[in-house]
A and B are shown apart, each in its own frame.
Chain A
Amino acid sequence: MIPVSYSYRSLMVRWKTTLMTATGFTLVIAALIVMLAFINGLAEVCAISGDPNNVIVLNEGCTDEILSSISRATASQIETNPLVVRRPDGTSLSSRELFGVRTVYDKKIRDYVLMPFRGVSPSAFEVHNTVHVVSGRTFRPSQSEVIVGMSIKNAQKVELGDVLEIARKKWKVAGFFAAGGAALESEVWGDLDEMAGQFKKEGSYNSIVVRAESPARAKDLARSIDSSAQISVGAQTELDYYAKQAESTNFLRSAVWVIAWFMGIGAIFGVMNTMFAAISQRIKDIAVLRLLGFMSWEILIAFLLEAIMVSLIGGGLGMLVGYSANGFTQRFTISGHEVQFRFLVDASLLALAAAFSLIMGIMGGLLPAMSAMRVRPLEAFR
């Protein structure tokens, strides 16, 4: 085989062109990684948000909490399902919740932002058992108090004792809560009855979350509620619910690939162009190699390798740039929930980027390498 050093040194001899061509790959790969890291982060939030033991019940046909409305009577009926966990006193482990989105003044950016809020009863902390107050204390009913999720606290620099104006009412921040990075951390929680009064939603809830003994029981519970003849509601496990929310990232993923390919075509033509130029200057090299006994496919490999090296140098730099976005936090609205998530660059994303870079290198290098392969040695010496 023609030594790899031949391809490598040929690149280094024209290092300026090599670097410029490689830059095309750097841009494509960096952009691809950042965009996919964004989507990965969103998917991650959705993945960790669902509690496998919980079943969320919404109106029949509703895919989103915000449009759902369940009456008190229906709620009571749901809670009688035998698969729902009972407390020692015989009551069901169930959380009746009110959910809405209102604008709130953000003092950091000095503008109004959308803020999801949730009215809950104390049982919410039993059903969503990852939720715990990390500083301050929980809200007291009828005192116009709320607790704020950590991701809102961090994003909007909310402090204890701050007053948030939601729906023409002032709410005092009594504490902050965490929920293991789940979407709930991007919410403001207050007392269920107090909020219902304020938002004129007394007598109905947006969702009922009931807890089962195990993930398997949760599936059964969801099926049982879903198919119940008396109540027309839709029930699904929290896992399924958030997985469906994550599906909204699918179209984003397709869009990212369309963008990546368009940018990629630019990089492909870039490497194609420099390889054609390089080959036309090295016809004599090729002829000599052929005369010495190297086969045409070995010529093809040597020049293809050169293009691939450009793509891997550029792609490698792009991976470094893209990786620097890892952990960067961002807020994003998925179906009414503004959630905070971090850009996630993992090994599989890097591998994907490397493969994409390699494919672009091969696509850009193949035509020129084939032209190198077809050089007739005797004619080259004429």
Chain B
Amino acid sequence: MSTPPLRSNEPIVLVDGCTKNYSRGSETVSVLKSVHLEIARGDFVGLIGPSGSGKTTLLNLIAGLDQPTTGRVVINGVEISSLTEAQLALWRTNAIGFVFQFFNLIPVLTAFENVELPLLLLNMSRRRRREQVLNILELVGLGHRLTHRPGQLSGGEQQRVGIARALVTDPALVVADEPTGDLDSRKSQEILDLLQELQVRLNKTILIVTHDLAVAARVRRLLRISDGQLIDDTENPESVTHPLFGSLNVSNAARVKRAEAARS
């Protein structure tokens, strides 16, 4: 599935009046309540909100992992809320890159093989696959760790492999659910530096879910969700409010994070 030709001012993500309900026994839990969202091509967007507010749920709808109860999801001109499961799987391979909190690499495969996995789903020669994998691993700074297994890599390195795997199919949109949640703050900043650099160099659209204010402070556009509704939408956030510390300067966000860590 190749990217359909689009006017570049058309949003790459369109979430149109989406709701998501889960039924638990007889009661119905409304997790997303009529969310409307547009994300512009090439943007770097953060999504923050309290635990259980529906961040992952929204991300899953956008990534084509789950279907909305009502509403439409249109990604890059494709209405994914009307695709079959098989179509959706192929679409995901081409259009979406995933970065996970716990890296989720396959432990028995090497860094190279982990990154190569999504390419195996595409009709691609061995040589081209190799070229593409080496290229992206070089970009994330792991050109010297090709044959290492995940167990032989540090957390930060594992996440770099994870990012390489997300980008290797050259997807238009990369989604990351708390990609720094399992890393210390120095490593978090490095991963964020990398994401930011790749976003600019490869012209990707990135949507990142985070609890980390230091991360949130570095996005170009910050969305805030609470109880299944988008309640705030800030461009170039200079400060991030925090339930404990009130309004903060972006430059202080990292310090808050450290204070938070000390508290727990």
Q: Which residues of A contact B (CB under 8 A)?
A: 1-3, 5-6, 9-10, 13, 284-285, 287-295, 377-378, 381
Contacts and interface: CB of A to CB of B under 8 A. Distances in A.
Given A288-B100, A291-B98, A293-B92, 8 more contacts: A3-B113, A3-B120, A284-B104, A285-B106, A289-B117, A292-B121, A294-B89, A294-B121
A13 B149 CA distance: 12
Nearest to A297: B86
A291 B108 contact: no
Contacts of A292: 92-93, 98, 117-118, 121, 165
Contacts of A293: 89-90, 92-93, 118, 121
A22 to B, nearest CB: 18
A295 B93 CA distance: 11
Contact of B86 (A3, A10, A287, A295): A295
A13 B86 contact: no
23 contacts: A3-B109, A3-B117, A5-B113, A6-B109, A9-B109, A13-B107, A284-B104, A285-B106, A287-B104, A288-B104, A289-B106, A290-B89, A291-B92, A292-B93, A292-B117, A292-B118, A292-B165, A293-B89, A293-B118, A294-B89, A295-B86, A378-B60, A378-B65
Most buried by B among A3, A9, A284, A293: A293
B227 interface: no
B170 interface: no
Contacts of B89: 290, 293-295
A13 B66 CA distance: 33
A296 to B, nearest CB: 9
B188 to A, nearest CB: 21
A6 B110 CA distance: 10
B108 A6 contact: yes
Contacts of B113: 3, 5
Contact of B120 (A1, A10, A381): A1
Contacts of A294: 89, 121
A287 B106 CA distance: 11
Interface string B85-117: 010011011000010100011111100010001
Nearest to B106: A285
Nearest to B88: A293
Contacts of A287: 104
Most buried by A among B65, B86, B105, B108: B108
Nearest to A7: B108
Contacts of B106: 6, 285, 288-289
Given A291-B92, A293-B89, A378-B65, A2 B109 contact: no
For the complex of A and B, 7 pairs with smallest distance between CB atoms: A293-B93, A9-B108, A293-B89, A288-B104, A293-B92, A293-B121, A292-B118
Contacts of B92: 291-293
A377 B66 CA distance: 10
Contacts of B107: 13, 285
A290 B106 CA distance: 12
A160 to B, nearest CB: 68
